[in-house]
Amino acid sequence: MPKSKRDRPVTLSKTRKKGRGHKEAIVNAIRDAAETYSWAYVFSFENMRNLKFKEFRERLKSSSRFFLGSNKVMQVALGRSAADEIRPNIYKVSKLLHGNTGLCFTNMPKEDVERLFNEYEEYDFARTGSTATEKVELKEGPLEQFTHEMEPFLRKQGMPVRLNKGVVELLSDFVVCEEGKPLSPESARILRLLGTQMATFRLHLICRWSPEEFELYIERPEDSDVESA
């Protein structure tokens, strides 16, 4: 007898999608920040870690405000051209918002902003698909850093292992990853077990803006139509 469609489970805790109202709130917040703060910076990021970025943002919340999300929404907020920009020359900032970028509005002196961004580095475990920064190879023999309970898990990751008198033993040399090559899910898991961190979360300043000044820090090929003034 076919199963009744009425018997299908229904999830009552549905997540509401962020709609037009949410985008409008962000646009208004960005426009308020552009009027309130002395400077606006565009920054890029690599190996983003949300928790680490939240900590960085908290350190500066008394003097700065950050926006990270849809580049298109941020562009609309600032104005995409000189004809619809909300402040003088801020359309140049808008043109630089593409890829992994964000906005920082601040009252901090230029030197402090540059120092904080340039010195910021946080190390973490690399994720699947990240590029290995070095070759990691395990040699044949006992792997005393792993407990005997981990032997089945290691085998599932493709490692040629066995238990020998309660000790995990590698039956032959095993290359976890090769420098310059993407990490497989298995490689990423093994590196985490080994405590090997290959990802560095960094922030890079792209430009600085005020109504009187615009400075370009990084000249990317895709930004060839934006000039300092």
Digit-coded pLDDT (tens) for 78-92: 999 999 999 999 999
Q: Which amino acid is at 68?
A: L
Cβ proximity of 161 and 151 under 8 Å: yes
pTM of the full structure: 0.76
Say if 22-122+201-222 and 136-196 have the same CATH topology.
no
Under CATH, which architecture does the 136-196 domain have?
Alpha-Beta Complex (3.90)
Identify the pLDDT of residue 224. 58
Identify the pLDDT of residue 20. 78
Domain segments of the chain as ranges: 22-122+201-222, 136-196
pLDDT digits (tens, 9 = 90+) for 180-195: 999 999 999 999 999 9
Cβ proximity of 54 and 108 under 8 Å: no
195 three-class SS? coil
pLDDT digits (tens, 9 = 90+) for 126-175: 999 999 999 999 999 999 999 999 999 999 999 999 999 899 999 999 99
Residue 221 gets which letter from DSSP? G
CATH class of 22-122+201-222: alpha beta
122 three-class SS? strand
Where do runs of H (alpha helix) occur along the chain? 20-36, 50-59, 71-78, 91-95, 110-119, 151-156, 185-194
Q: In a 10 Å sphere around its CB, with 0-12 CB exposed, 13-18 middle and 19+ buried, how is residue 31 labelled? A: middle
